[in-house]
Structure 1
């Protein structure tokens, strides 16, 4: 899912995002608003992982959805 598509369907997919990354709060999701870079940054922050790992997780999540 590219960034434009993620932003366009954010309200529909954010529940699935929160299931995958349960440490993300509703406030986090409101700030992210479908922006992949912001999502990766919040995942890094909440889970203490590197950017490339966050990007890898997002890519894997995208393939499943």
Structure 2
């Protein structure tokens, strides 16, 4: 998904991230604003996911937006 699209739909994406990964703080989520790699890294670190699992999680969220 194009970075412009991610940034444009950030509010909706942010809500989905909060639902799926409650262990992430609002500040952490906001820090990743529109940056897919940063978001994947946060999910990987805080949720204990592998790189592939984090990528799949982000793909899944973006498919629903």
TM-score norm. by structure 2 comes to: 0.81
- C-alpha offsets along residues 29-63 of structure 1, whole Å, 9 cap, x if unaligned? 12111211010000001011111110011112222
Alignment of 1:7-18 (within 5 A): 7-18=7-18
**Structure 1's 14 and 54: CA in aligned 2 closer, same or farther, altered over 3 A?**
same
> Could you say what the CA RMSD is over the residues aligned between the two structures, in angstroms?
1.5
Q: Which runs of 5+ in 2 are unaligned?
A: none
Runs of 4 or more, structure 1, over 6 Å off, are none
* 2:56 equivalent in structure 1: 56
CA distance in 1, matches of 2:12, 2:61: 15
* 2:29 equivalent in structure 1: 29
TM-score norm. by structure 1 comes to: 0.81
The count of residues paired between Structure 1 and Structure 2 equals 65
